[in-house]
Amino acid sequence: MKNQELPKGKKLNKKQLRSITGGLMDCIDPMTGGCRKVSIGCAQLQCRPTIDPL
């Protein structure tokens, strides 16, 4: 997807940008390919903590 400059567009704040991406963070480090952090707010399944059933 290309970045487009729209003449009537307005700049979105951080909260609005997060809602577009579904509220999930990108937790993969592009340099190492590993998780930068492990959180339930991560978009990638491998970076989310696993819950073991009892």
Task: For residues 10-38, give the mean pLDDT.
Answer: 83
Q: Give the start-end residues of each E strand in the chain.
A: none
Banded pLDDT at 46 (limits 50, 70, 90): very high
Query: Taking all residues of the chain, what is their mean pLDDT, rounded to a whole number?
Result: 82
How would you label 23-43 residue by residue, b for 16+ Cβ within 10 Å and e otherwise?
Answer: eebebbeeeeeeeeeeeeebe
Banded pLDDT at 5 (limits 50, 70, 90): confident
- Give the dihedral of Cα atoms 33, 36, 40, 44; nearest 10 deg: -20
Task: For residues 18-40, give the mean pLDDT.
Answer: 85
| Per-domain residue ranges of the chain | 21-54
